[in-house]
Structures are given as structure tokens and as C-alpha cells.
Chains A and B, each alone.
Chain A
């Protein structure tokens, strides 16, 4: 419980480090010195002080949706078993609430983008709903696998009950599922080969296209929510990979946090060495992720002694 609180606070405080870390790795690969690790903190601080510009088209949703969306991610974070500890707020079936809160946060961003009424935002949100419908499938595929594996129905139980023993038996299946979750993480955070957060080119943009009309404190909320979302999806991936009963207390917290930063490093490496996919290919890759979770499910059900 104590370490869960510590992990929650560290997630809320440290998550802006993740994009900084990715950028540093990319700069290293490109032979540049790159922006500071704390760049997002400076940006957030600067943005919070600024005023806002709204499109004449918009009708008030623009000011609401970033904050509502941020709250959805924060409430979803409350169900996560952070730092290898079960969440004190868990209840049976909270995994569905968790996933649907993330879906709501996406929908609100989409509606906010449509409110601005430019074709760029329309384009970005159209891509977003397309990809997120498929990534929802991968996420639920992974959840089904984990439920069949652990027999639990709360998010803490799902991610935290696969100990060393089940790693010995089902290690390969857990690896496959976590790979599926990794693909979802890249797609949902628009990193790596799925989207390119650096360009301002409409060909390459998904999330970035959706937030072009935001400014000031609203943009700060969006940037912060994006990095927090990266933390949430990163910890989904990490918690599936880490055996639950290996470490606890401070060591657990340390292992968990460092794994998330390692995940951010790996995202940086992938972004540096891989070219962006064409948009036609993204649904195929997401379906491949779904296939991975489905394969692990089939193997678990047929050869897992059930």
C-alpha cells in the first residue's frame, strides 16, 4: 500500500521524463546532443502560464476535453498495480472500467479535435478512431489470456499473479502477449513506426494532428496526459513481463520504475532505427498483435491443462 502510493506519486511526477528520454536516445543515434531530459517540464511550466487561443468555429468543447481526458487517464491509473503492489482501489472487473476509461479519453480527444473543424484535425481523429478500434481488440485479447491464466478479474490480480512458477511454465505465452501489448503501446502513444511525433507533416500525423489547435494550459494538459498514457501502457507491458513474487517493497518499486524507463529507451531505439509504416500497414500490424494474444490464448487453453 505504501509503495503503491509512492509509485503512484512517482508515476504522476516522473511521467514527463519518458518523452525526454525517448528524444535523448533519438538524438544520440542521430549524433546530436538533443533537448534536455527535463524539456517537457519546462514546456509544461511555460504553457501553464500562457493564455489560450480558440478557433472561432469551436463551441466550448475544446476547453473541456483535454482536462476530462486527463482525468480519465488518472482515474484509470488508480486501478493499476503500481510498483508490484496491488491497487487498494481494486474490485472485480475493474479491468473493464480501466480499458473503457482509456477509450473515453480517446473519444473526448477526438470530439475536441472535431470541434475545431479544420481538415487536419478531422484527418487525425479519423485515423485515431480507426486504429483505436483495433487496438481495443488486442487489449481485450490480452486480458482474456491473462484471465484464463491467473483466474482473477481485477487488473491488479491479472498483472500481479503470474509469478516465477507460471513464468517457468508459460513464459513463451507471456512473452507473446506482452509483445502484443507493446504494439498497442506504440500505436496508442503514436510512437515508433506507427506515428512520428516529430514531423509536422500531415502524412505522418495521428495524435499530433488532433491537437494542432490547442494552446496554453489546454496544451499542457494534453502533453501531460500523453506522457501519463505512455506510463500507463508502458506499465501494462512491464507488469506482464515482471514476475510478481520476485521482488517487493523498495526493490519492487525500483525494478518497476527502471523497467518503464528501459521501455522508453527501447521506444527511442525503435524510433531511431525503423522507418514509419504506411498507414495501410498499421491495421495489419495491430491485427498481428491480436494474433499474438490469440495464439497464446489458444496454446494456454489446449495445452495448459484445462
Chain B
């Protein structure tokens, strides 16, 4: 390959040596992308032969992702490349968003092997085609420079994901869900086109910012723009869903950081992000509480976590607008760290739902239960990731949330007015969301893995597939590594934070630079967290060991659970997930509006009684439903004009012509 123009972004001292390294890294990355695309195409071509198609698919996925990962990490300082009309750029910001894509793509590929074994015969080639191409496309999004390429990759990514959403096309309603998904993707693409047009014509920075927020917010899943995320996306196969939920949502933030300059509008951006984050976080976690389907519960939790990331970004901008560098750096680094943690954990959780689905054939929490005995390792990985995602120490989910708290505390101490108000609100909302998230994850773990099984054919359930377990284990180990490495990881965010917050190396007299804040303030705190997390785990291990020496410790008797005096207890008597969260759902019923369908028990010899609680999405119920109904109503009215009489059509043409003439001559003349 001959590259026409290569620039090394960082201008290192020994340029020549570095330059060779850069070319090497760049080539590796491009080869990786090509491998991904080619293996997808081969897989599709061989779709009649099941085994060879999945072998090629997974081979391409592993090799391609590893090569891209190697190339990306090798040249983290960055490069840019122009070849004819194509432009690529790779730097720290791209790398930060590529890592979740590549790691989840790699692990998801391994998980897919187990997920599709003895399943979906004859269609595996199609899956691998879309999966590998989706990965390549997502990488392309992070490399594209010019608007036209970015839009192209953006739309293509949405399209490929829509096909993955439609993958189980035989299931009822999947076409409708894919339609919702496509609508959201195209709306996002349309708004982004508008944004780039505004950007070119230099109309107004504020307008540019708002349009960008809407366009990229559609991908992030900001409140009201989240409907596709919680309704449609969960229909995708679990490993693909893990990649989409864990790393594609992040790309919305990538787009905002890369293509929307907030300089000059920091205060507006900070306020907007913070409010969107607060609402999204609380809304997501509350609706997640009420969901009965595990995938949908996790999808709402994704929305909540994206809210947390947005909150961090907002606090960062508020900090930079009020010259509070501590608040800015803590908020922004917390947002980025939480994004990484969320990717890893949510990937693990969604792949866990895939394992559960393959083992039990059921994802409704109230129908599952007791799976920990049947699939111990899946259960352990899932539970640890789940607890971690509710932001609790000694797991990695805590570190990002902790930095957000610190940012808000700094905002409280030195901020005034809106900054102070939003900081206090952030702390309180984070506290409430933390409590609710732990309840929600307790529901998921308790309903699916603990207690007695409610599944009819539980005896046949086996956790046979090793590859799926390895995938979950790899992500769990990665989560632990993220916890241990978080102080050093945050240190690498310096350049990105400066770029995003438009600080540009500007330092006040006697103030700290971003890097100094990261290494002198953030580093010791995270180190403290890591040390104490480690200490907790060690003390637990030691205590469990010491307890073995107790005299009665070895005497363990196993008896049937205390069954409340029931003569013949069944598993249906235990608390279900719905019952578990019912007090909380009732408490927030003004927001959640649960729909209850109750068949009362009547008469002396009642035949049947039942209670079903459903929850409609708040965005659909409160905004999109009425909006589409209104549009439908207007269209029906307008539809009357289409009556089939020629003279009415002529009349319409004449009237509209007159209106145009009136506008053209009279109004323009007057104005």
C-alpha cells in the first residue's frame, strides 16, 4: 500500500524511527479492518455450509479485532492518513472509543460461537456477515475525518445493526422493532446532516450545538430519544447486543466530542448535559426496576448508565465554564472511566443473558430462578458484574461514580448559582439512583439465579457450552483489571479531557494543568479506593478461612426451607421479581404508571385468579404516542382531500399557486 500523505500528530523527537512505527501500526490496523470485512463476505458466501461459515466468521473476527487492537495501541499517540479522497485519523480520543468496540467485539465473537451452536442452522453466515461488518463500520466511525465519510459510516453502522435486530425475523413483531430501530437511525443521520450543513454555513454556534445534541443524543439514548434503545435493540442476538449496548452507545459521545465544538458555549453545554444526565439516570433506573424481561431491564439500565456518563460530561463542562479545574477534570475523567466500566460490565451482562437464554429458553425474570445451581460460573460472573454495575465497591463500577461525586463536591464548595444547584442535585440524584440500582440488580440476581426454580423443565438445564463461559470469565477478569488499573488509566485521559473541554493547555496563574490534577489529585484517591477494595476482599477471604477453625463450622445440615406452614410448598410461593420491587414501583407509580390486570378470586370455590403488571415506556406514553397520534389525526384529515375528483385537485393547484404568488409578490415586496 502506498500512502500519499502521512502526518504524525505528536511530532516526536526521533521522528523517523517513530514514523516507521506509525506506518507499521497503521498498516496493521487497516489489515485488521480488511480481514473483518473479507471474512464477513466469505461467511455470507458460504452460508449454505454452516460449519465453515462460522469458522471463517469467528476466525476473521478474532484476527481482525486483535490486529486492530494491536495497531491502535501501538500508535496511541496518533496518526492521520490521506489516500486520494479517503481520510483517516487516529488519536487518543479514537483509541478510547475503539477499545470497548474491539474488546467486546472479540469476546462477543467467542461468545457467539457457543450462542449459535446447534441453533439457527443455515443462518450463521448471515449473522457473521453483519456482525463483522458492524465491527468494521464502528471502527470506521472512530477513524473518519470528513463529514461525508462520517455520515456514511454512521448510517451504515445503523443499517447493519438494524439487520441484526431483525435477525430472529421469524419471531412475532421483530419487523416492527427493526422498523423502530431504522427510524431512529435515520432520524439521527438526518439531523446530523443538518448539523454539518449548519457547521459549514457558520450560522450560529448554539444552533449547531443543539442540533448536534439531538443527532448524537439519538445514538446515546438521552431521555425521550431512548425508545429504540429500550424497545427495539433488545431483540438482537445477545452477543451482538452486548457489542451494540456496550460500545455503540458510546459512539454518540464520540461524535459529540469529535465533531461538535463546545468552545464558547461551555455553560450551556454543561447545564444541558447535566440535566439530561440527571433525568436519564433516574428515568432509566426507575423503569429498569419495573421491567419483567431481563434484556429489557438491562437495556433500561444502559440508558441510566449513559445518563451517568452524560452527568459527568455535564459536570466537566460546568467546571470548565466556572474556571473550576478540579470539578472539570474529576467530572470528565469520571465520565470516561464510567463509560469504560459500563462497556465491560454491560457486555458481560448481555452475554450472560445469552447464556441464560440458550440454557433455559426463557428471559422473563418471574419464570426463572435457581439457576445458580445449574450454571454456577455464569451465575457468579453475572452476579459480580451486576453488583459492580450498581456502582458498589469493591468492584470497578464504583470508581467512575466516585469521581462524579467528587466533581459535584468540588462544584458545591466553590460554585455559585446554577453550578451549585446542579452539583447538589447531582449528588442527591446519584444517591437515589445508587439505592434504586442496587434494588434493581438485586431483583435481577435474585429472580434469575437465587431461590427455587420456577421453570418447568429445570432438570434439563445445563451450562454445557464452555466458550460462552470463557467469554463471560474474560470480561469479568477484565473488569477486575479495570479496577486495579484505574488510577493509571485515568492518567491517560489527560489529552482527551483537554480536547473535549476546550482547555487547550491554558493554565491560570498558579493553577494546575489537567495532567497535574489527574496525577496529583485523582490518582491518590483512586489508589485509595483500589487499596481499600483489595483490603476488603482480603479480609473477607481471611475471615472465611479463620471461620473454618470454629468448632461447629463443619457441621452443616441441609433441610427444606422453612415453608411457612404450607403442607406442600411449591416454587411459585416464593417472592417473584415483580413482587420484590412492588413497593418501590408503587412508590414511584406517578412516574412509572404500571398497568395492572387483575382477575379477582371470587366465590367459595374460586377457579382462577391472576395479576399481571406491565409497564409501558414513559417516552412512548408521554411523548411519542401522543405525537404520532396527532400526526395520524392530521393525516387523516388531509387525506380527505384525496377524494378522486379531478376538479378538486385542480382547485387545490390553483389555490396553492395563488398562495405562492401572493407570498412571492406581495409579502416579499412589503418586507
Contact = CB atoms under 8 A, between A and B. Distances in A.
A180 to B, nearest CB: 13
B609 interface: no
A107 B575 contact: no
A137 B438 CA distance: 14
Interface string B528-557: 110010011001100110010011111111
Interface in A94-133: 94, 96-97, 99-101, 103-104, 106-107, 110-111, 114-123, 125-127, 129-130, 132-133
B435 A137 contact: yes
Nearest to B556: A52
Interface stretch (A65-73, A227-235, A250-258): A65-73
A114 B393 contact: no
Nearest to B551: A49
B406 to A, nearest CB: 5
Interface stretch (A19-27, A34-42, A54-62, A166-174): A54-62
B631 interface: no
Contacts of A56: 558-561
Interface residues of B, number: 77
Given A93-B406, A217-B547, A148 B413 contact: yes
A88 interface: no
- Residue from A55, A132, A148, A297 having most chain B Cβ neighbours under 10 A: A55
B253 interface: no
SS class, residues of chain B in contact with chain A: helix
Contacts of B441: 107
B562 A118 contact: yes
A305 to B, nearest CB: 13
B580 interface: yes
Interface string B428-467: 1011101110110110011000111000000000000000
B561 A57 contact: yes
Interface string A219-241: 00000000000000000000000
Interface residues of A, number: 76
B438 A107 contact: yes
A53 B580 CA distance: 25
A51 interface: yes
A33 interface: no
B427 interface: yes
Nearest to B559: A53
Contacts of A139: 431
Interface string A157-168: 000000000000
Contact of A100 (B370, B392, B406, B409): B392
Interface in A265-300: 279, 283, 297
A147 interface: yes
B306 to A, nearest CB: 21
Nearest to A120: B564
Contacts of B420: 301
A86 B564 CA distance: 48
A283 B587 contact: yes
A301 B438 CA distance: 31
B516 to A, nearest CB: 16
Contact of B552 (A52, A55, A99, A147): A52
B396 to A, nearest CB: 13
A153 interface: yes
Nearest to A90: B528
A49 to B, nearest CB: 5
A57 B451 contact: yes
Contacts of A197: none
B398 interface: yes
A111 B424 contact: no
B553 A122 contact: no
A56 B452 CA distance: 9
Given A53-B557, A64-B544, A137-B428, A111 B442 contact: yes
A122 B575 contact: yes
Given A67-B543, A111-B450, A120 B562 contact: yes
Nearest to B447: A114
Contacts of B524: 91-92
Interface string B379-394: 0000100010011111
Contact of A75 (B536, B561, B573, B582): B536
Given A101-B536, A114-B450, A96 B559 contact: no
Interface in A182-223: 212-213, 216-217
B392 A104 contact: yes
Given A104-B392, A217-B550, A129 B450 contact: no
B557 A51 contact: yes
B435 A153 contact: no
B428 A151 contact: no
B390 A107 contact: yes
B575 A48 contact: no
A130 B587 contact: yes
B119 to A, nearest CB: 27
B439 A59 contact: no
Contacts of A59: 370, 372-373, 376, 450
Contact of B412 (A51, A70, A144): A144
Contacts of B564: 118-120
Contacts of A133: 432, 435-436, 438-439, 584
Nearest to A293: B428
A144 B442 contact: no
B579 interface: yes
Contacts of A153: 406, 409
B121 interface: no
A140 B574 contact: no
B130 interface: no
Nearest to B435: A133
B435 A132 contact: yes
Contacts of A67: 540, 543-544, 547
A269 B136 CA distance: 68
A134 interface: yes
A137 B434 CA distance: 9
B584 A130 contact: yes
B323 interface: no
Contacts of B559: 53-56
Contacts of B435: 103, 129, 132-137
A5 interface: no
B583 interface: yes
Nearest to A136: B435
A132 B431 CA distance: 11
B219 to A, nearest CB: 30
B405 interface: yes
A48 B575 CA distance: 30
Given A96-B405, A119-B564, 9 more contacts: A57-B561, A72-B536, A91-B525, A111-B383, A117-B369, A122-B574, A136-B431, A213-B562, A301-B420
Q: 8 closest A-B pairs (Cβ-Cβ)?
A: A122-B575, A51-B555, A133-B435, A117-B451, A114-B446, A140-B431, A55-B561, A129-B439
15 contacts: A51-B554, A51-B555, A54-B558, A59-B450, A67-B547, A97-B529, A103-B392, A107-B390, A114-B445, A114-B580, A118-B561, A122-B574, A127-B583, A129-B442, A144-B428
